[in-house]
Amino acid sequence: MQQLLADTILLVTGGTQGLGRAVAEAAAREGATGIAIVGRSAEKAEVALAAIRAEGAAAGTPGFEAIAIIADLSVPGEAERAVADTIGRFGRIDSLVNAAGATSRGTLLDTTRELLDEHLHLNITVPFMTMQGAVADMRSRKSPGTILNVISMSMHGGQPYLAPYVASKAGLAGLTKNAAFAHRFDRIRINGLNIGWTATPGEAVTQQTFHDADSTWLEQAEAAQPMGKLGQPDEIADAIVFLLSSRSGVVTGSIIDWDQNVPGAYDQ
């Protein structure tokens, strides 16, 4: 891929770590002019910005700038502020990636209202509000744009211990299609990527916190996969950049399974 996001202003929620950071780095490699990443940790943001700025410098993008918006998206109003701060700094938003989200565990029977509300807020309300702000900006300028929502293979049903997560991600898939249909004649393309099990630092914490995993969890997990590895953030980031770019053509309203396992298919 070469300069797929030239002259693009991009906002990435969850952009200070994991997949979100990988997306921001890939966008910088592909010529994005300005990138805003959103996260809670100022320390992680500084590390991420250094890597993103290095990619922008290597790409030779004139006037490249990357900024961090420190925000706790679990707090009402912070998603809207992230959009406003991006527009305030760069004057517009051309592309949006919603990579932030809740992943904590809970079954139908043991999930509290508070845990359900957390998932619904982070996995539906936050993307709803960032899309609302980004689309409003695009329409006000009568300019096309692109949005990518990071969803999950779990939206197809998932494990019993992911009840609130599945509910929220399935809702995000529906929202993605609804928004894509509503704004197709504005030439705003909105798609979703259902990612499977992915090797990120956050996943390591999840495995240790909720599944009593030891230091060999990744090796064991990858040995059991068809391709011999978990999904890789840089590979997923390249797919996201492609979907944000004009190279993905007219595609909108698509929820794409990005995984090595096939829902509904069985060995016996």
Catalytically active residues, by annotation: 165
Q: Considering only CA atoms, which of 105, 103, 70, 79 is closest in space to residue 201?
A: 103
**CA gap 75, 265 in Å, rounded:** 40
Q: Considering only CA atoms, which of 127, 261, 124, 263 is closest in space to residue 198?
A: 261
* Tokens, residue 169: 């991600």
Amino acid letter, 186: D
* DSSP tag of 184: G
End-to-end Cα separation, the chain, in angstroms: 40
Amino acid letter, 105: R
DSSP assignment of 110-179 equals T--HHHHHHHHIIIIIHHHHHHHHHHHHHHHTT--EEEEEE--GGGG---TTBHHHHHHHHHHHHHHHHH
